[in-house]
Amino acid sequence: MRHFLEIDDLETQELELVLKLSAATNPPKVLADQGVALLFEKPSGRTRNSMEMAVVQLGGHPMYIQPEELGIGSRETAEDVVRVMAGYHTVLAARVFDHGLLEQMAATNSVPIVNLLSDIAHPMQALADLLTIEQEIGLGKVGKVAYVGDANNVWRSLAIGCSMLGIQTSVASPAGHGPNSPDLERVLIAGGSVQVTDDPSEAVEGADVVYTDVWTSMGQEDEKSQRLDAFSRYTVNSDLMAETNSNSIFMHCLPAHRGEEVTDEVIESPRSKVFLQAQNRMHSARGLLSWIVGEVAKHG
């Protein structure tokens, strides 16, 4: 049984297929009469709405579930919850605090598990990001994708995804917030190269894409003031964008904290593709679901 907890759960050819399926505008209703459970332990605007609409477009029924309804680990074990849900739904997708919970759920092998964001990965976002880069620049043409900020869940999935497609990346973070060795190893195993620095200017030199995300992710709120200090030199502003390639684009998974990781001027500029990325969340969700339902049909 196939799960999607991180982008490299796909082979490179499968990633290319998912991106192709994402671009299909009138896909077969592969989820007709079927359910997809969407469990959220954290808030969500884009992920919930894009997943629900992707399920509808594939002919299925999305079921939004709040954690207290299931009581994973309190009312019932995770394993029991997943095996019960498997009786109703073709896919169980979840946004969780602890990535380990997704692994525990996947280990039951009773229904495909899809990661809707965990503390360490956001692969559904990376699919939309790659689709956006394909539309705006071309995956075969893009040079360097530079990430400025916290080497977090969004960075990790993006870096691995780019690496799988042979796209060079860079990451600029303050001390203590950069990639660790296992992260870098995973990016390199995926096939590409990654430039690691603490200097935003160095990271964006020659970049076709500049990407950033919030400095304080959900679940890290008590670190906010320390993080505001640590990242104060890492705002993506017009001066930094001027150091990139002349046709470069700006990307952000959203929600954005304007005035922190990005200025209003950059996010509102013609180079900013943030709303296209957000819209692509629905198209790439459709692509991933179409692929995973196809795998269920093939292997059960």
Asked if residues 270 and 211 have their Cβ atoms less than 8 Å apart, the reply is no
Residue 276 found at the interface with ligand NVA (CB under 6 A): no
| 202-241: contacts with ligand NVA (CB under 6 A) | 213-214, 217-218
Count CB atoms within 10 A of the CB of residue 66: 9
Measured between alpha carbons, how far is 217 from 244 in angstroms, rounded to an integer?
A: 26
As a whole number of angstroms, the distance between CA 40 and CA 248 comes to 34
Amino acid type, 45 = G
DSSP per residue, 46-65: HHHHHHHHHHHHTT-EEEEE
- Which segment (15-23, 45-53, 79-87, 196-204) binds ligand CP by CB under 6 A? 45-53
Does residue 130 bind ligand CP (CB under 6 A)? no
95 classed as catalytic: yes
Assess whether 80 carries a catalytic annotation. no
For ligand NVA, the closer of residues 93 and 111 by Cβ is 93
What are the strands, taking DSSP E only, across the chain?
35-40, 61-65, 89-95, 113-115, 144-148, 168-172, 194-197, 207-212, 249-252
Catalytic residue among 3, 89, 122, 271: 122
Number of residues that bind ligand CP (CB under 6 A): 9
Who's near 26: CB < 8 A, 6+ residues apart? none
**Is residue 122 among the annotated active site residues?**
yes
Minimum CB distance to ligand NVA, residue 49 (Å) = 13
Interacting stretch for ligand NVA, rule CB under 6 A, among 126-134, 147-155, 167-175, 285-293? 147-155
Q: Which residues bind ligand NVA (CB under 6 A)?
A: 117, 152-154, 213-214, 217-218, 253
Q: Which residues bind ligand CP (CB under 6 A)?
A: 44-47, 117, 125, 253-255
Residues designated as active site = 95, 122, 125, 213, 253, 281
